[in-house]
Structure 1
Amino acid sequence: MIRIDVDMDKCQHYGQCVFEAPEVFQLNADDKLEYVAEAPDEMLADLEAAADVCPMQAILITRA
Structure 2
Amino acid sequence: MRVVTDTARCVGSGQCVLTDPAVFDQSDEDGTVLVLVEHVEGERLAAVEEAVEMCPSQAISLADD
Q: TM-score, normalised by structure 1?
A: 0.81
Q: In 2 relative to 1, CA 50–39 (structure 1 residues): closer, same or farther, beyond 3 Å? A: same
What aligned pairs does 1:32-47 form with structure 2 within 5 A after superposition?
32-36=32-36, 38-42=38-42, 43-47=44-48
Q: List, as ranges, runs of 4+ consecutive aligned residues in structure 1 with deviation greater than 6 Å.
A: none
**Structure 2 unmatched ranges of 5 or more:** none
Are the structure 2 counterparts of residues 19 and 32 from structure 1 closer, same or farther at C-alpha, using a change threshold of 3 Å?
same
CA distance in 1, matches of 2:40, 2:32: 24
User: Cα distance, 1:28 vs. partner?
Assistant: 3.8
Classify the secondary structure of the residue corresponding to 1:17.
helix
Q: Across the two proteins, how many residue pairs are aligned to each other? A: 63
Cα displacement (A) at 1:39: 3.0
| C-alpha RMSD over aligned residues | 1.6
Give TM-score scaled by structure 2 length.
0.80
